[in-house]
Structure formats: structure tokens, C-alpha cells
Chains A and B, each alone.
Chain A
Amino acid sequence: MVGVRANKAHRDERFALIVLVTCSGIFVVAIALILGFLAFSGTRLFFHDHVSPFEFLFSTNWDGLGGHFGAAPFIVGSLIATGFAILVGGPLGVAIGVFFSELAPKRVADAMKPAIEVLVGIPSVVYGWLGLTVLVPLIGSIFHTGGDGLLAAGIVLSIMILPTVISLSEDALRVVPDSMREGSAALGATRWETISRVLVPSAKSGLAVAVILGIARAIGETLAVQLVLGNAPVFVTSLLRPASALTSEIVMDMGDAPDGTAFQHALFSMAFLLLLIAMGLILLIRFALRKRT
């Protein structure tokens, strides 16, 4: 009797293990398939349609239906919008992470944390809508322009990456042992000196990860950007002029590009480029974390 029960438990155990390993394996298969399919579809433009990768990366002439596939305006647009977001949202996010980790009394932190979680939860299309109906008119009236462009996109992205940067930098600072805080204070350092000269340098790899994940979020963001960018497929000349980014151009053009055409292949190439950037950022994070240990 006992033997039978033990046998069943043993069988369950084996079966469970198979199921769990299979489910874990799905993650590996999924990312492999995504990389494989996008690598194939993303390079059809070069191998099947014989457009040179050089033209794709560096030409500024984009006319999908007319057969010109220079994606440089979108690449530069994405980089500028992301760069802006990191320059504004990065330091601000780290500062608020410092606030939660070092300054905020528990009651204040408890009251403010849910606000950060709501910011994470607001759909990107709602951020885009807010940008379109509030920020774009505001910028327009200040600078006497249409208001849409990379400045608007940069500001919206700065806000959108904040929750990521805040929570990861807070985590990074909390990992720094209290003995560092005490050691610095005991030498007569003020709290700010301890933060700026000991804690932030000690947590730098974790803070780098926070900023890199902020970059990843910003560069892949689509609708919030598309709604405020003005979507002109031209090389950027001003932060206040309508422009375009990789993500926004994909979402704009995909509906117009017939299956199997070079036009559609070019859009897949842009998606593949985004995927490569994302993978590059992941490797960068691995590198940042490995250096610490």
C-alpha cells in the first residue's frame, strides 16, 4: 500500500518535472523563433530585393511605394528621441530612486509607491493621447509651430521611462550595505556627500542597468511616439519639426505595404534593426553586471 502510494508520488514528480522543463523551454524556443523569423524577413530587402544595406542605413530618401528605402531619417529620429529621454528621464529617475532609497520616510514612500505603479500601468497609447492633446498644443503655442516633433516625443518618453529607471535605481542603491553609509557619515560627510560620493559610485553598475533598460523601453516605444511626432519621413532638421522614428514609421506604413513587396521587407528590416538594438542592450546589461562580480 505504502509502496503504491510512493510509486504514484514518484510518477507525479517525474511528470511534473517534464511539464515544468517544457514550459521553461518555450521561452528559449520563442526567442529563437522571433530572432530567426525576423532575421529572415528583415534581410529579404537585401538578399531578395537587392537593396544595399548601405542605402538602407545611410540614405535619407524614403519612398516606400516609389522604391526608395533609406531609413536614416527614422534611425536618427529614434536615436534623438531616445537620447533626449535618457538625458532628461535618466537623471530624474535616478534622483527619485535615490529619494526612495535614502530620503523618503517610510510613510511617504508607502504613499508614493502606488503612484509610480499607476504610471507603469498607463497604456502607452494614453501617454500618446495626453501628449497629442496637451503637450503638442502647448509646445506649439510656446514656439509658434505645429507643436509635434522630436521635442514632444522626447518629453513623453522621458516620463514613460521614469518608473523603470526609478524602481531599478532604488533597488541598486538598496543593495549598497549600510556600513558604507555609516563609514561615510562617521567621517563627517553630509547625507548628500554620502549619496554623491559613496553610494552612487558604489551602485554604478546597477544604475547603469536602470538607464539601459530605460533606453530599451524608449527605443521600442511606438504609439506614444507616433501620436506626437507628426510623422514626416524626412531627415530631422529641428526638434520642433514633424519627424519620424523607426517604430512610428513601421506602424504607419505596415497597413499600406502589400505582402511580399520590397516596401514591406524594408519595414521588417526596420523591425529587425530594433530587435538587434534590444538584444545589444541585453548584452550590455550582462556586461555591466559581470564587471561587478
Chain B
Amino acid sequence: MAQAVARVASSDTLASNNARSRRIVDRIATGSLWTAAGSVVALLVIFIGYLFYKGASVISWHFLFGYPSSANAGGGIGPEIFNSFYILILTLVFTLPIAVCAGMYLQEYAGPGRFRDLVQFSAESLATVPSIVMGLFGLLIFVQMFHWHFTALGGALTLTLLNLPAMMRVTQEALAGVPGTYREASMSLGATRWQTVVKVILPSAIGPLITGVVLVSGRIFGETAALIYTAGASVSFGKSAYDFNPFHTAETLAVHLYSTHREALVPDADAIGNGSALVLLVMVLLFNVVARVVGRQLTIRFTGKAS
């Protein structure tokens, strides 16, 4: 008994010395991790604050909707904003059907097998193609081979290739969130797989699906490197700068931010840059907010529950 007490006592003092230093290490590590995470958020706040500080004074009705200028101060970004949305919509028109169908196939139809592995591997590979490399592929095909020159359509098709994998992933994840019992219930009522997917699975997955689509749209809106040599770095000077012709050159806002710095002769290039950067940032924030709000609303409407 006395021995046991002695053993406890000695191991206690031994442990306590060691335990104190270990506790300090634990505290330091915990503090460092909090600091690291906090600093990233702080960085984001600084970015946003800085862009507003520098860009807010540039923003005006004339800047947002006016024509760019090639040599004089006071140019606007109206056509660029239009082109960004125009190319985004064209891209979505191509991307959505293909990516959603492929996502449905992989998630709902394909059993394990060679074809599924091949599609999955192709998607992963496609996802890691750098956007400048995709831009050169677009240049080879649409500009050089098809002789389209720089066009909104060529840019949109290039962005389609670039964003197919992300859209497919979004679809797969949205579908994966639907409980398996829904499938069983529908199939056991005699529905075919396709009827089950269209009438049961897709509506239940619509919230997360739209959220994902809007977030990817934000990335398409800001894409630059893939567009410089496909959609071009100048706006078309037709009758109107708001040009719906998909075979005309179409500089987007993101490309404009780059080209203004690179080759503009205008004296107020910095101001235009600051204004464009702020508009791009605000658009990204908007896409994020819209993604969340719309996604939640749709989830509530179609499944009756908030998630």
C-alpha cells in the first residue's frame, strides 16, 4: 500500500512538470492556428476595403455604362460589362446541359466500370488544364482552324471546356445529397430510372445545384487568361457596343483590367483599373450572396426544409 502511494506520488510530480510544458505547447499551437485562420479573413477584409477605397471614387453612371476610350481620359466599361455577361450566358448555354447530363450519368446511372473511370479521369484532367493552355487550344481551334478570329462564341466555347468539370462536380455533389430512400420509393412505384431522376431526384437537388451553378458562374465571369486570345482584348466597334453578334470580338471586364494595364495609352489607366477591379469584386460578392439566397429558397420550396 505504501509502495503504491509512493509510486503514484512520484509519477505525479514527474508528470506535472512534463504536463505543464506540453500544455504550453498545446496553447501555443492552438493560438497559432486561430491566428492563421484569422489572418486569412483579415486579408480578405483588407482586399475588399482597399478595392472600395481606391475604386469607389471612379464609379459613376458614365463609367459603368459609357464607352471605353482608346487615347483620352474618361473612358467607361459599359461594353465590357455587357460582354462579360454575354459570354457568361453563352458559356452556360453550352456547359449546363452537357455537365448536368454527365453528372447525372455518373451519379445515377453508371455502375463501376471502365467507362465511368475514363469519364472521371478525363474530367479530373480537364479540371487541371491551366486556363492559359485552354486559351491557346481555343486559339488553335476557333481562331486559326475555323478562321473565326477573336469572337465571343470562341471565348464561350473555350470557357465551356474550362468549366465543364466544375459544373459536373457541382451536379454530382447535389445529386449525392439526395437520400437513397427517394430513389427506392420512386422506383418501387414503377417509375423508370429516367422518370425518377427527372421527377424526384433533380427537384430535390435543385437548391444545392443552383448554388453551385451560380458560384461557378462567378468564376466564369472573372476568367481572363483563356479569353485574351479567343474572345480578344478589344471591343467591337459596330453600330452599338452592346453587340449580340457572337462572331464579333468581345473583350470582357476581366480582360479589360489586364489590357488597360498592359497596353492602354489612356492617362487614367490606373483609375480605370481600380474601378474595373472593384466592379469585378462586387460582382463576385453578388454571385456569392445570390448563390446562397436562391439556393436556400429553392431548397425550401422543393423539399420543404431549410438546409
User: How many angstroms between the C-alpha atoms of A19 and B296 in the bound complex?
Assistant: 30
Q: Which of A16, A23, A116 contacts B98 (CB 8 A)?
A: A23
**Which of A49-57, A62-70, A232-240, A270-278 makes up part of the contact surface?**
A270-278
User: How many angstroms between the C-alpha atoms of A194 and B80 in the bound complex?
Assistant: 52
Q: Contact: A41 with B25, CB < 8 Å?
A: no
Q: Is B9 an interface residue (CB 8 A)?
A: no
Q: Contact: A130 with B44, CB < 8 Å?
A: no
Q: Is B288 an interface residue (CB 8 A)?
A: yes
Interface of B is mostly: helix
Q: Which of A37, A128, A250 contacts B132 (CB 8 A)?
A: A250
Q: Is A46 an interface residue (CB 8 A)?
A: no
CB of B14 to closest CB in A, whole Å: 13
Which residues of chain B from 213 to 266 have any CB-CB distance to chain A below 8 Å in the complex?
215, 218-219, 221-225, 228-229, 233, 254-255, 257-258, 261
**Which of B59-67, B69-77, B175-183, B278-286 makes up part of the contact surface?**
B278-286
User: How many angstroms between the C-alpha atoms of A25 and B101 in the bound complex?
Assistant: 11
Q: Contact: A279 with B261, CB < 8 Å?
A: no
Q: Is A34 an interface residue (CB 8 A)?
A: yes
**Interface core residue of B30, B134, B258, B280 (most chain A CB under 10 Å):** B258
Q: Contact: B132 with A23, CB < 8 Å?
A: no
Name the CB-closest residue of B to A254.
B229
**Interface core residue of A33, A121, A128, A227 (most chain B CB under 10 Å):** A121
Q: Contact: A271 with B222, CB < 8 Å?
A: no
Q: Is A176 an interface residue (CB 8 A)?
A: no
CB of B116 to closest CB in A, whole Å: 8
Name the B residues within 8 Å of A104 (CB-CB): 37
Which residues of chain B from 31 to 60 have any CB-CB distance to chain A below 8 Å in the complex?
32-34, 36-37, 40-41, 43-44, 47, 50-51, 54
Q: Mark B180-200, 1 if CB is under 8 A from A, else 0.
A: 000000000000111101000
Q: Contact: A23 with B129, CB < 8 Å?
A: no
Q: Which of A12, A30, A120, A286 contacts B122 (CB 8 A)?
A: A30
Q: Contact: B129 with A132, CB < 8 Å?
A: no
Q: Is B301 an interface residue (CB 8 A)?
A: no
Q: Which of A28, A219, A223 contacts B225 (CB 8 A)?
A: A223
Q: Contact: A278 with B129, CB < 8 Å?
A: yes
User: How many angstroms between the C-alpha atoms of A121 and B221 in the bound complex?
Assistant: 9
Q: Is A48 an interface residue (CB 8 A)?
A: no
User: How many angstroms between the C-alpha atoms of A222 and B133 in the bound complex?
Assistant: 10
CB of B121 to closest CB in A, whole Å: 8
Q: Mark A182-195, 1 if CB is under 8 A from B, else 0.
A: 00000000111101
Name the A residues within 8 Å of B302 (CB-CB): none
Q: Contact: A130 with B51, CB < 8 Å?
A: yes
Q: Contact: B106 with A24, CB < 8 Å?
A: yes
CB of A243 to closest CB in B, whole Å: 17
Which residues of chain B from 117 to 142 have any CB-CB distance to chain A below 8 Å in the complex?
118-119, 121-126, 128-134, 136-137, 139-141
Name the B residues within 8 Å of A288 (CB-CB): none
User: How many angstroms between the C-alpha atoms of A182 and B199 in the bound complex?
Assistant: 44
Name the A residues within 8 Å of B225 (CB-CB): 124, 222-223, 247, 251
Q: Contact: A38 with B137, CB < 8 Å?
A: yes
CB of A114 to closest CB in B, whole Å: 7
Q: Is A141 an interface residue (CB 8 A)?
A: no
Q: Mark B15-39, 1 if CB is under 8 A from A, else 0.
A: 0000000110110011011101100
Q: Contact: B194 with A133, CB < 8 Å?
A: no
Q: List residues of A whose CB falls within 8 A of some B CB.
A: 9-10, 12-13, 16-17, 19-28, 30-34, 37-38, 41, 92, 95-96, 98-100, 103-104, 112, 114-126, 128-130, 132-134, 159, 162, 166, 190-193, 195-196, 213, 216, 219-223, 226-227, 247, 250-251, 254-255, 259, 267-268, 271, 274-275, 278-279, 281-282, 285-286
Write 25 A-B pairs (CB below 8 A) sorted by A numbering. Answer: A9-B195, A12-B194, A21-B115, A30-B161, A34-B137, A38-B140, A95-B36, A96-B33, A112-B41, A115-B40, A118-B284, A124-B224, A125-B257, A129-B261, A132-B261, A133-B273, A220-B130, A220-B131, A222-B130, A222-B225, A254-B139, A255-B229, A259-B144, A275-B133, A282-B125
